[in-house]
Amino acid sequence: MNLKDKFIQFAYNFAWFTKLYFSLTMKISQNLPNCVVPLFFNTEQIIKTLNYGKLYKHDNIANVINDYLIHPRVIQCRLQQEKSFGDCDDHAIYWCAAIKKSNLAKRVWFSIFTMKGRWPDDTYQSHAVCVFQENDEKFYWCDYGKPNLIEKIEDFQIKSANLYGCDAVCGTIWEIIEVKNDDTPVFGKTKLVLPPKK
């Protein structure tokens, strides 16, 4: 682990600020056209609704704000219009809202992490996924496609980073404690998640 990795892990202690920022941008985005998130009977329906991640769109407002969270109802409207709507965190929050609202899992977490490319490409990037625990106690993580089984909740960042040829540096999870009547996900406590030491 190098100095930059240690600094990133330290910075994740302040992930509560990101949580507040994302909550604020979700609230602001509600002023855009929005539609009710439907109830789903299984995760396969959610995957199809999100069109397997093919409606991905980078966040960008006037080349000034490059990362924000869109409200699930705004995402729903864009999905119904078959329009591109957002990046990984927007996919993740929709997953979280849809699963929680539809009672498809026992617990649900919005999860973000930083990963580092493997030598010789040691660039850093961040990613967001949805993690959930089904009633049979098994854990899964998902972003654009079929949910992936993991042994324990901390494994989401390791498995996801592997798909991108990277190693996880640090992550955080916020449990979705409820979805309000207007489909707003409510974040619970922030928990730091470190990958196992090598």
Cα–Cα distance between 77 and 60 in angstroms, integer? 19
Burial class (CB in 10 A: 0-12, 13-18, 19+), 165: exposed
Beta-carbon contacts of 55 under 8 Å, excluding residues fewer than 6 positions away, are 78, 79, 82, 83, 84, 85
Higher-confidence residue of 197 and 35: namely: 35
Instruction: Give mean pLDDT, residues 162-178.
Output: 95
Three-state SS at 188: strand
Domain ranges of the chain: 3-193
What does DSSP assign to residue 60? -
Q: 48-62, 64-78, 176-190: which has the highest mean pLDDT?
A: 176-190
Cα–Cα distance between 52 and 80 in angstroms, integer? 14
Residue-wise pLDDT tens digits, 63-108: 445 678 999 999 999 999 988 888 999 999 999 999 999 999 999 9
Beta-carbon contacts of 60 under 8 Å, excluding residues fewer than 6 positions away, are 66
| Number of CB atoms found within 10 A of residue 187's CB | 21
Residue-wise pLDDT tens digits, 12-35: 999 999 999 999 999 998 888 789
**What's this model's pTM, rounded to 2 decimal places?**
0.93
Angle between the N-to-C axes of helices 88-101 and 15-29, in degrees from 0 to 180, rounded to the nearest 10: 80
